[in-house]
Chains A and B, each alone.
Chain A
Amino acid sequence: MSQFLEEKELSPWLDALRQQDVQRPPERAHAAKERFLRQARSLSVPVSKVSVQRHKVWNVIPIPLWRRKELNPMFSVLATILVVASLVLGGGGATLAAAQTSLPDQPLYGLKLASENARLSLAQGDPLQQAELSSQFALRRLEEVQAMLQQGQAPSEPLLERARQQLEQALQRSAGLPDEQANLQLERLRTRLQEMLQSRLQLPKTASPTAQQALERVRQMIQARLRLLEECAGDLQQLRLRLQTQNQIQEQQNVPGQGNPTPGNATPGAGSGGNPAPGTGTGNPDPGSGGGNPDPGTGTGNPVPGSGGNPAPGTGTGNPVPGSGGNPAPGTGTGNPVPGSGSGNPDPGSGGGNPDPGSGGSNPDPGSGGGNPNPGSGGSNPDPESGSNNPGSGGGSGGKKP
């Protein structure tokens, strides 16, 4: 069928559409036109150059985060700065502050130690401040031990060792100050230690045997330092000397291959000698220090590191007797001045070859260098608490003991 015929057939419908009244009500036409013009005005505004310029300012800053198109870029930048500043200053400070009260088993404890080291590093060049900080941190360690004990937990071996080292360091730094400052600093430390010993170091009734042992070790550690301070009261020179000696011993103990002072390594009857090197066995020329080590921890066979058998030079004869009061101090006790004479006593029961508790060293002659000029304080440990345990073995220093 041709298109013309089709159109003709469809004309009724097409004509009806053509004839449809399409007159638009004038008021509606007017309203629609007004709406169109309003839209035109509103759409013409945003294309202004203002917003482009505003973003261009911040595009200069080469930080992509700040280049976001936001309603107010300035606010975004300020907010970023504030957040960063609060994290760096406020947030970090708060974390550090929170770390100061943490205990060794808590996550922030590492941060606490790091901050202490940082403060010590910053105080370098100022001995007084270093001494003060060292004392403060050593007391902190002891307080941590105390806190753990009160919670019924046994403090770990690293914590105890750290406490001992820091206490030692505090004493050395304090003693290394000029006399007046040293006396003041040491007196403060002594007071704090006494305080701690008398009132704070307590255990709950339900404490485990391990915790009790740890408490005992800490008490002895503090007592030893207090005794040292009391003995050397008014004699800073002597205190410095003894601290130095202890330090040397400690350093030597840390050297591999040296005698192990731990009880487990003791070999009764082995008679392993002290260090027979010439000259090392000389006794301490200082009469006051010629006796046994005043540290009860060492004299009583306490397993605190540094106690027990002493492989230090001059400690001479090994003491194969189990339980004998070892003497870790060089030249103290029965230091054998004779080179090569420090061989172990083959008699396990001989107690270091000096059965006489009051005889001092095996060589009582001060002229020989080895003997302690003060016979009464020679071999045995002057501390009754430690020496009395084994009077017969007091002179046998240097050997390993269980």
Chain B
Amino acid sequence: MSLLFPDRLAERLAAFDEQALVEVYDTYSPALYAFALRLLGDEDLAEECVAETFFRFLKALQNGAQPIRELKPYLYRIAHNWIQDHYRQKGRRPWEIFDESYADPRRGVDEETERRLLQEQARAALANLTAEQRLVIVLHFIEGWDQASIATALQKPLTAVKALQHRGLQALRRMLLKEEGSDESIS
């Protein structure tokens, strides 16, 4: 399915055509699950995130305020908003649990354990970025979106997306490579 889905599908979705709804769900649900799981690191939370994303999508269809013409960025934005809310509700900065021993790659651990460790570190660092920096980094470096698509999804100019990406990488570097000032507030 293309990013801008055809009007015919839009009409079918607005009429709650079940076949059209299944088509959308089957197309985007696995990718959204992967996106959520990478950021949250928890299968249950990822399922919850996907379910809530599609429920909000249905409510938007029901209200019918604005036709949803760019479905993929729309769904990712909803999912990311839910993740952001989850971070806020959690009430603590994930970076605080990132201690020395946890980050030491010289400890005798196997490859799988080390990968899990790196994943946890990456999630913790990403959680400390701003919402837009995080979205840009994840969509570009993890999900493989080009910057133009990200600019469309965020409804920002391309230069703004590049700047967000640059600042996001710098912040991650400070946190993960333990450079000086790594515990500073990220902005």
Contact = CB atoms under 8 A, between A and B. Distances in A.
A19 interface: yes
Contacts of B121: 13
B142 A39 contact: no
Nearest to B119: A16
Interface stretch (B4-12, B30-38, B153-161): B30-38
Interface stretch (B17-25, B76-84, B85-93): B17-25
Given A6-B169, A35-B51, A39-B55, A20 B37 contact: yes
Given A22-B33, A37-B21, A14 B16 contact: no
Contacts of B26: 33
Contact of B170 (A6, A15, A24, A29): A6
A7 interface: yes
B169 A43 contact: no
B166 A32 contact: no
Interface string B52-80: 00110011011000000000000000000
Interface string B115-127: 1001101110100
Contacts of B21: 36-37, 40
Given A33-B25, A37-B21, A44-B16, A18 B55 contact: no
Given A10-B173, A22-B38, A35-B51, A40 B122 contact: no
Contacts of A41: 16, 18
A16 B125 CA distance: 13
For A1, A16, A41, which residue has the most chain B Cβ atoms within 10 angstroms?
A16
B119 A20 contact: yes
A65 interface: no
Contact of A10 (B58, B59, B115, B176): B176
Nearest to B53: A36
A20 B121 CA distance: 13
Contacts of A24: 30, 33
Given A16-B119, A19-B115, A22-B37, A32 B47 contact: yes
Given A10-B173, A39-B55, A17 B38 contact: yes
Given A20-B38, A22-B37, A40 B58 contact: yes
A3 B172 CA distance: 12
Contacts of A17: 38, 119, 122-123, 142
B142 A18 contact: yes
A35 B25 CA distance: 11
A367 interface: no
Nearest to B144: A18
B141 A14 contact: yes
B142 A13 contact: no
Interface residues of B, number: 39
Contact of A32 (B29, B119, B142, B177): B29
Contacts of A33: 22, 25-26, 29
B68 to A, nearest CB: 15
B165 interface: yes
B50 interface: yes
A40 B18 contact: yes
Contacts of A15: 118
B173 to A, nearest CB: 5
A46 B59 CA distance: 12
Contacts of B34: 20, 22
A43 B165 contact: no
A32 B50 contact: yes
A28 B45 CA distance: 13
B29 A29 contact: yes
B129 to A, nearest CB: 12
A46 B122 CA distance: 44
A264 interface: no
Contacts of A1: 173
B47 A28 contact: yes
A12 interface: yes
Contact of B22 (A9, A12, A37): A37
Contacts of A118: none
Given A17-B38, A17-B122, A22-B34, A36 B51 contact: yes
Contact of A14 (B47, B142, B166): B142
A47 interface: yes
B139 to A, nearest CB: 12
Given A9-B173, A17-B119, A36-B51, 18 more contacts: A3-B169, A6-B173, A7-B141, A13-B121, A14-B142, A20-B37, A24-B30, A24-B33, A25-B43, A29-B30, A29-B33, A32-B29, A33-B25, A36-B21, A36-B55, A37-B18, A39-B54, A43-B62
12 contacts: A3-B169, A7-B169, A10-B177, A16-B119, A22-B38, A29-B29, A29-B33, A32-B50, A36-B54, A37-B21, A37-B25, A39-B58
